[in-house]
Amino acid sequence: MNLNLGTVTSPPRNEGASVLRAKDCLRAALEQPRRQGLTIGLVPTMGYLHEGHLSLLRAASAECDVVVMSLFVNPAQFGPGEDLERYPRDEERDLRLASEAGVDFVYAPAVEEVYPDGFATVVEISGDLTGVLDGDPARRGPEHFRGVTTVVAKLFNTVAPDVAYFGQKDAQQATVIRRMARDLDFPVRIEVLPTVREPDGLAMSSRNAYLSPEDRRRAAALSRALRTAERTALEETLQAGLAAGQRELAADGIEPEYLEARDADSLQPVAELDGRPVLIAVAARVGAARLIDNVLIRP
């Protein structure tokens, strides 16, 4: 995108996304839109875009004058033995899809640009939100979310967006980022959009690329388990719902890392529906992929 310094208009959306590798270049590119009072939307991604990402990009394009997509596989949120090296990447395809979805700037920095030599500062949220579910020390651990909040805080500082877009599939991550933005007074609105699913219900994820055909079939049990848990919880009790979800997973030979009911805002465990929104979240390894999903019950 080429901005005319003498024209006060929204930037055109048909020139393709400009790819920027340095934060100083991105800040400079956003100076004029900011002076013009244009709204800036940010969609953080690790690339290998799918329809879930594209739904966020289209929403940002519809609501904001300027859209920035970050394209960065963040090593700080991968633990030892996780899939950092084999995480799927296809930058050329990602840039084409981003342009088609209305992105103006793609920020695609090298690791050294984000974490320069001697980097020693992190952003950490308390264990009430980051030490449970995926953050349980027996699972990915709170350091996973420390990596997420640190890189997102850096993106917020670099882009200074008016709105940032995230997906409901990563519900715990969205909750943690909302808390960070509130606690650190980031002047950004956090928008969390619905999970985008395959026709059989499987939540779209870059890690679905790891699934063999048979494991891909089995993976659909996660969304079935959540739907069963939700329906049974509303008809009977929350505990009956969780038990029904477990049976749905067991029928396809899936042993979840967790299938839990949590308060949607505080992530504290809940034993019954009491009128507050309840998150039923699941994580499981299916073949070579570790998958997460959730359903939000609003009684």
Place of tokens 């590119």: 29
What distance in Å separates the CA atoms of residue 135 and residue 262, rounded to the nearest whole number?
Answer: 14
- The encoded tokens of residue 232 equal 């049974």
- The encoded tokens of residue 134 equal 């995926």
Bridge partners of residue 204, in order along the sequence: none
Largest CA distance in the chain: 64
- The residues that are catalytic are 53
What distance in Å separates the CA atoms of residue 286 and residue 218, rounded to the nearest whole number?
Answer: 7
Residue 166 phi/psi, 5-degree rounding, is: -135, 165
Residue 148 phi/psi, 5-degree rounding, is: -65, -50
Residue 283's identity, in one-letter code, is A
How many residues would you count in the chain?
A: 299
Backbone conformation region of residue 135, classed left if phi is above 0, alpha if psi is from -120 to 50, else beta: alpha
What distance in Å separates the CA atoms of residue 92 and residue 189, rounded to the nearest whole number?
Answer: 30
Element (H, E) at 34: helix 23-35
How many DSSP H helices and E strands does the chain contain?
A: 10, 9
Cα dihedral value 181, 98, 48, 107, nearest 10: -50
- Measured at the alpha carbon of residue 110, what is the angle toward residues 56 and 89, in degrees to the nearest 5? 55
